[in-house]
Amino acid sequence: MLSVTSCDGLLNKAPLDSFADSNYWTSEANVEVYANTFFNNFIGYGNQGGSGSYYFPTLNDNQCGAGFVDWNYNNVLTVNTAAWNNPYTEIRRANIMLARLEGMNLSETAKAHWTGVARLMRGLQYYWLVRTFGDVPLVDRELSVSDEAVFGPRTDRDLVMDFALEDLNYAVSNIKDVATKTSWSRNLAQAIKSEVCLYEGTYSKYRVAADGQKAPDATRANKYLTESKTASSALMAKFSTLNASYQANYNSLDLAKNPEMIFYKHYVKDLFMHSLPDYTCSSSQQYGMTKDAFNAYLFTDGKPKASTTLDNTDVPATLAADGIHLDLTPLLAVRDPRLAASVDKVVMPVSAGFKGRLGRSDDVEMTSSTGYGVFKFDSAELADGYRVETGKNYTDAPLYWLSVIYLNYAEACAELGSCTQTDLDNSVNKLRDRVHMPHMVVSPAADPANNMGVSALIWEIRRERRVELMYDGNFRFWDLMRWHQLDKLDTHLYLDVKLGANLTNAASQITEEVTVDNEGYIIAYPNHDRIYESKYYAYPIPTSQIAINKALTQNEGWK
């Protein structure tokens, strides 16, 4: 009777200002903007006013922050949920991308490239999950609410990491080999693989059954260390030049021209900024360097504190030009120059703020929990009004760069037991050259400070890693984790990890308001202590998740 025939057109109303899943997957450009969201995983120096992964994490022996005493995962309910939930959100993002790509009409190379990107991100997430929680549920496909896998149990960590390695290997073979440093490239995949496999190789080697972990597995360790070395080698073949300045890796406005950058996070003035320099140059008390870290630096003769012929005291004896602050210049002059790039030239305890780091009009009084100011990230290039301002800093953040690959490479070689002088010269000694430090040799002299029970070579390679990557990317915590050295964070066993600069020669009005130990070292947060237990080798599974999914079991020590 009536011409109401076009009902389908009437009722099929796809959303106009968002895509439907069903009409999104039509072009490579759409896949690209979908994959762009993965970039949010690289926190770098943080977004706007938020914290980043450099400087801010203080669960290590390098820094003392207000929360340095916390084993981050003590608060099961509030802390761990994000560490557990967020990776699965990203895994779903990747799984959906993988599923949709299959049905798309793209060239084989394009399809392989984007499949590689999705698998790279999925592999990275599983790495983050496993190193945090151990066994985790393995989700390899898009789940619907009625899929029984939603309520699935945890999968053995080794199997999950093997799954991740497959993803990474696919990525390094299929992601386009392009020169970009701010987007997807085969180099980025290799860099991630280098890190993940080094982690898994050393973890498999050093893990301890008595501490609730699986027994060490030498075969597995060798396999992963070899994979790591392969990835590092591939990058070393393509990148051969370090940036001339060590500190410029961290405080430059643009890393585009930096020759060693593999992947970095670009910040733009007024458009997209962070707060890292601000936190280390404003009146906010800085999470200062520990005495333990300070003394880990070699002396300019290439020798450690115990054997150097240079003045090895860490007690500053002179006052700076302002007549108030202790001067660190003489101490820094005889140490690895990377220390001078990392701490200020005066001691700035909470009782005596220091102003005038860069001699700029926007300098404000700064203090540090340990007295050692954090200098590394401050930048003279930041405009007035953009330096000492939360959310207004725009220095670029390095995410994957050649220095780290050199460190990975040398360590993998050493752990495989095959490290040659050439290996060292091709890697860590290039880092030494940059800062005019003597070369590392295959058989270094034993350092009495070696408390990790490893060879002198491995000890020196680990020192090199610590020094080069001071404050960086939470490397130190995960290094201690994979080396099975978390006990080094215990403030009772290792007193130096909560001590700072020595105030013996400071004016009494400065020391009065600061707690120091018998020898005059600043005790950061004197009422706080950090006690090690073996259960800390795995975060607890969030109890809220166990409540929802009865198939999940809690980690040892957290039940």
- Asked if 39 is part of the footprint of another protein (rule: CB under 8 A), the reply reads yes
Give the residue among 445, 80, 426 at the shortest CA–CA distance from 298. Answer: 445
Closest to another protein by CB, 20 or 237:
20
Among residues 102, 105, 108, 145, which is the contact residue for another protein, using CB under 8 A? 145
Give the number of other CB atoms < 10 A from CB of residue 74: 13
Q: Can you tell me which of 15, 103, 359, 448 binds another protein, judged by CB under 8 A?
A: 15
Residue from 42, 163, 532, 558 touching another protein (CB under 8 A): that is: 42
Determine if 76 is a binding residue for another protein (CB under 8 A).
Answer: no
**Interaction residues for another protein, span 183-222 (CB under 8 A):** 183
Binding mask 458-497 for another protein (x = CB under 8 A): ----------------------------------------
Q: Which of 77, 208, 256, 380 binds another protein (CB under 8 A)?
A: 256
Nearer to another protein, 82 or 445 (CB): 82
Q: Which is nearer to another protein, 124 or 424 (CB)?
A: 124
**Three-state DSSP class for 37?**
helix
Spatial separation of the C-alpha atoms in residues 88 and 327, rounded to whole Å:
50
Closest CA to 425 of 240, 225, 224: 240
DSSP code string of 296-351 = TSPBTTS--TTT-SS-------EE-TTSSSEE-HHHHHTB-HHHHTTEEEEE--TT
**How far is 314 from 494, CA to CA, in rounded Å?**
17
Question: Should residue 81 be labelled a site residue for another protein when binding is judged by CB under 8 A?
Answer: yes
**Residue 226 or residue 390: which is nearer to another protein going by CB?**
390
State how far the alpha carbon of 483 is from the alpha carbons of 139, 161, 221, 487, 528, in Å.
28, 17, 12, 11, 26
Q: Residue from 271, 321, 518, 527 that binds another protein (CB under 8 A)?
A: 271
Window 296-325: residues binding another protein (CB under 8 A): none
* Contact with another protein (CB under 8 A) among 28, 92, 307, 456: 92
Q: Least separation, in Å, of the C-beta of 430 and another protein?
A: 27
Chain CA centroid to CA 134, Å: 19
C-alpha span between 321 and 546 (Å, rounded):
60
Task: Give the footprint of another protein on residues 149-178 (CB under 8 A).
Answer: 149-152
Q: CB of residue 4 vs another protein: minimum separation in angstroms?
A: 5
Q: Distance (Å, rounded) from C-alpha 459 to C-alpha 394?
A: 36
The answer to whether 262 touches 400, Cβ cutoff 8 Å, is yes
47 near another protein, rule: CB under 8 A? yes
- Residue 366 tokens read as 């700064």
Residues 115-144 that bind another protein (CB under 8 A): 137, 139, 143-144
- CA 21 to CA 34: how far, in whole Å? 11
For residue 129, the minimal CB distance to another protein (Å) is: 10
Q: List beta partners, residue 346.
A: 327
**Among residues 55, 56, 84, 521, the one that binds another protein under rule CB under 8 A:** 84
Window 361-400: contact mask with another protein (x via CB under 8 A): ------------------------------xx--------
Which of 63/132 has CB closer to another protein? 132
Q: Which is nearer to another protein, 343 or 552 (CB)?
A: 552
> In terms of DSSP H, where are the helices of 134-176?
157-174
Smallest separation, CB 378 to another protein (Å)? 20
499 neighbors 438 (Cβ within 8 angstroms): no
- With CB under 8 A as the contact rule, the residue among 528, 545, 554, 556 that binds another protein is 545
